[in-house]
Amino acid sequence: MIAFRIFVEGRVQGVGYRAFTKRVAEGYGLEGWVRNLPDGRVEVYVKGDEEVLWFFIKDLMNGPPLADVKSLHIIKEGFVESTGTFDIRY
């Protein structure tokens, strides 16, 4: 398993992006969390099988229908203990 921290830029707040991310992550069986940042970006911390993570990242680039994703900044992260869930943080 590997982990990534992903910063999503564009019109990604107020469009259901966090709920979309949670739904997609759970569909892939991934763990982690998603949250809005004060600067308008969305931050995602996700861990799982590397091949599956790349499919997830492709879905993040598309986003939900009302989103307009401009870019993803992906950072490989250290892996922390498994939580078994994917959460929305507030």
Q: What is the pLDDT of residue 33?
A: 96
Domain count across the chain? 1
In a domain, residue 88? The reply is no
CB-count burial class (<10 Å; 0-12, 13-18, 19+) for 35: middle
Digit-coded pLDDT (tens) for 25-82 = 999 999 999 999 999 999 999 999 999 999 999 999 999 999 999 999 999 997 676 7
CA distances from 36 to 39, 42, 49 (A): 8, 5, 25
CATH number, domain with residue 14 = 3.30.70.100
Extract the tokens encoding 39.
């600067």
In a domain, residue 89? The reply is no
- CA–CA distance, 85 with 37 (Å, rounded to integer): 21
In a domain, residue 25? The reply is yes
In a domain, residue 33? The reply is yes
Q: Which of 5, 11, 35, 36 is catalytic?
A: 36
Q: Which range of residues forms the domain containing residue 20?
A: 2-82
- CA–CA distance, 21 with 64 (Å, rounded to integer): 9
Digit-coded pLDDT (tens) for 1-32 = 899 999 999 999 999 999 999 999 999 999 99
Q: What is the pLDDT of residue 51?
A: 95
Other beta carbons within 10 Å of 63: 21
In a domain, residue 35? The reply is yes
Q: Which of 5, 11, 18, 89 is catalytic?
A: 18
- The yes-or-no answer on residue 18 being catalytic is yes
In a domain, residue 72? The reply is yes
Q: What is the pLDDT of residue 8?
A: 98
